[in-house]
Amino acid sequence: MGKNPKPPPRTGLLFGSFNPVHIGHLALAAYFLGENYVDEVWFVVSPQNPHKRRETLLPFHHRVELLRRAVGDDSRLRVSEVERHMPLPSYTVQTMRLLLDRYPHHPFFLIMGSDNALGFPKWKECAWLARNCHFLVYPRLKEGRVQDALPAKDPLYENFVFAKAPVIEITATLIRHWVGQGRSVRHLMPEAAWRYLDEMNFYKSPPRLLKSSLK
């Protein structure tokens, strides 16, 4: 008798601009892998987040390169360019429809912060996403226990798992701000990614592009 086919890996999807990638992103991936929530993590690079400004956004290929250097040779981590040629602005529902069409038997888990979980009812076609996807939520310091703020037995949150991941408050905004001030961010990024950022002089000029809130 033939062997049973190996099931497809449980894939965590971490969406973001990654402008730039930092150690917080890698720590989240390590947590969900280490706690056996998923078998692999894909970093899905967004060409343009519909909720973010574009002034400080590096070109797509540079953000991909920063991620590739950050990931290195870890076979459990993958940089996904699936949104590269999709219509702008990019919405999660469009990407998930494409991925589920390409990988119909693949179990996908969207990894998101608690702030995004609270705002989920405002997402484009959130009801479709709630029916067709699984969600892993990590805490954000300012949000507290998100579960307490959600309506009881809300069907939108039926496939949400709230994980006790470590709270990581490093942000790409902080990194861009520090670089603009001439401060070192070497300890906030994977070494290979930091070297690329430093060699390319990203975020250092012109100063008017560095104005951004630190919230």
CA atoms within 13 Å, Cβ hemisphere of 55: 13
Give the per-residue pLDDT at 141: 67
Give the per-residue pLDDT at 71: 97
Q: Which two tokens stand for residue 20?
A: 């730039």
Q: Which two tokens stand for residue 206?
A: 């012109």
Task: Give the 3-state DSSP-derived string for the chain, with helices as H, strands as E and coil as C.
Answer: CCCCCCCCCCEEEEEECCCCCCHHHHHHHHHHHHCCCCCEEEEEECCCCCCCCCCCCCCHHHHHHHHHHHHCCCCCEEEECCCCCCCCCCCHHHHHHHHHHHCCCCCEEEEEEHHHHHCHHHCCCHHHHHHHCEEEEECCHHHCCHHHHCCCCCHHHCCEEECCCCCCCCCHHHHHHHHHCCCCCHHHCCHHHHHHHHHHCCCCCCHHHHCCCCC
pLDDT band at 206 (very low <50, low <70, confident <90, very high): low
Kindly state the percentage of the chain with pLDDT values over 90: 68
Interatomic CA distance for residues 48 and 60, integer angstroms: 9
Pairing label, strands 134-138, 160-162: parallel
User: What are the structural domains of the chain?
Assistant: 11-168 (3.40.50.620)
Q: What is the pLDDT of residues 153-194, one digit of tens each?
A: 788 999 999 998 888 888 999 999 999 999 999 999 999 999
Maximum average pLDDT range among 57-61, 137-141, 144-148: 57-61
pTM summary value: 0.88
Q: What is the pLDDT of residues 72-113, one digit of tens each?
A: 999 999 999 999 999 888 899 999 999 999 999 889 999 999
Q: Which two tokens stand for residue 15?
A: 């969406």
Q: What is the pLDDT of residues 28-46, one digit of tens each?
A: 999 999 999 999 999 999 9
